[in-house]
Structure 1
Amino acid sequence: MLNLSIREPEVDVLVGLLTASKPELLDGGEDRTLRTLLHDYFAFARNLEEARAKFASYIGLSPTQYMILILLAHSPQDEPLGINQIADRLHLSGAFVTIEVNKLVAEDLVHKSGHPTDGRRVQLVVTEEGLNRLKRLAAFQRPVNDALFGMLSHDEFGQLSRLLAKLAANGEKAVKLAGYIEATR
């Protein structure tokens, strides 16, 4: 009988501690799997951030400048990107991207030109010097990326890529919701 009276409050406490309510995120009414996933994700994200910082440092850039340069280098040559496309793809503000792009232009890593049909926009392309830095980086990057993702099968890697794209697209909405909830409490 004593166990029952102790157990009931514990159950109530656990229900109050659930960090999700959607059934898809619960396992047997508990959020343990979600919490484990988040802990693993944060640990992996920390490792990705460290790798990105090392990649950027290797070629003398900030992590954001490195991401912009990589994005530009891998964009189709016949469709040069502008500030808004970079900001959208990297989930950053246009103003911040403009500041970082201007630093890349000053270092002669990116060339900025006016858009041929829209005078309000610019087109950005990687210069020869920018490509040379990325070529030097690639030899350093390959074994690190292989170590980060090499344990995944081709199918698992594709699935992870698709899932992360969905999560990234929804993440900003979730953060805005958190800000709203915080502001209204």
Structure 2
Amino acid sequence: MPTSSDMTTHTDTALLDALQHQVAVFARRAEQSRLGGVGQARNSMDRAAYLLLNRLDKEGPMGVKALAAGMGIDSSTVTRQVAPLVDSGLVNRASHPEDGRAVVLQLSERGRSRLEEVRASRRALMALVTEEWTEEERDAFCTLLTRFNASLSTVTATLPAVPSTS
């Protein structure tokens, strides 16, 4: 069975090199700016908190395991990341109605308000970055970036674990 490198032409190699370079530049710029929006709410919420609050807002209350599975991370990571959100009143923690030992996490009203403030700031940044783009270009970019993220998630989930070098 041919490997992906066996199926790569010289033109593909150049294009794939350019693509991986642009993804690396994007990752660096995204980390530098944290894509934190504009205005007063700029960089006021870290990526982990934003993603957790966003998922709870879109999918509703859920347990730690479901939240972890949906985000492709470990339950202990979710527990650690959600603790400050509970402490600051952005997330409510309650016992599961059918299993009192299980915990259900829910976005609080304060969390919903704070999330909308951050979303508006980040929306403004996206509008600023793409202000010279057409609506079709924005739509195409969003579609392709969504597809890229889904493919990246699928592929990385199937790759063997790399042993630690420490």
Aligned to 2:10: 28
Deviation, 1:53, is: 6.1
Aligned to 2:29: 47
Q: Is the CA contact (8 Å cut-off) linking 1:27 and 1:33 kept in structure 2? A: no
Q: In structure 2, what residue type is equivalent to 1:172?
A: A
Q: 1:122 to 1:91 in 2, by over 3 A?
A: same
Query: What is the RMSD computed on CA atoms of the aligned residues?
Result: 2.9
Q: Is the CA contact (8 Å cut-off) linking 2:63 and 2:102 kept in structure 1? A: yes
Aligned to 1:115: 96
Deviation, 1:101, is: 0.9
Q: Is the CA contact (8 Å cut-off) linking 1:86 and 1:97 kept in structure 2? A: yes
Q: 1:139 to 1:61 in 2, by over 3 A?
A: closer
Normalising to structure 1: TM-score of the pair? Answer: 0.68
Match of 1:74 among 53, 58, 62: 58
Deviation, 1:63, is: 2.6
Normalising to structure 2: TM-score of the pair? Answer: 0.75
Question: Within 5 A, what are the aligned runs for 1:1-185?
Answer: 21-23=5-7, 26-28=8-10, 31-52=13-34, 54=36, 58=42, 60-75=44-59, 77=60, 80-147=61-128, 151=133, 152-174=137-159, 176=161, 179=162
Provide, for residues 91-142 of structure 1, a one-character-per-residue CA deviation record: whole Å limited to 9, x for no partner: 3221011011121111111001122223443221111111121222233111
Q: In structure 2, what residue type is equivalent to 1:68?
A: L
Please identify which structure carries the higher helix content: 1
Larger RCO (alpha carbons 8 Å, 6+ apart):
2
Deviation, 1:21, is: 1.5
Deviation, 1:67, is: 1.8
Unpaired segments ≥5 residues, structure 2:
none
- Which stretch of the first structure deviates more once superposed, 26-35 or 39-48? 26-35
Deviation, 1:159, is: 3.7
State the identity as a percent. 25
Specify the SS of the correspondent of 1:31.
Answer: helix
Q: 1:125 to 1:159 in 2, by over 3 A?
A: same
Provide, for residues 6-33 of structure 1, a one-character-per-residue CA deviation record: whole Å limited to 9, x for no partner: xxxxxxxxxxxxxx6240xx22386222
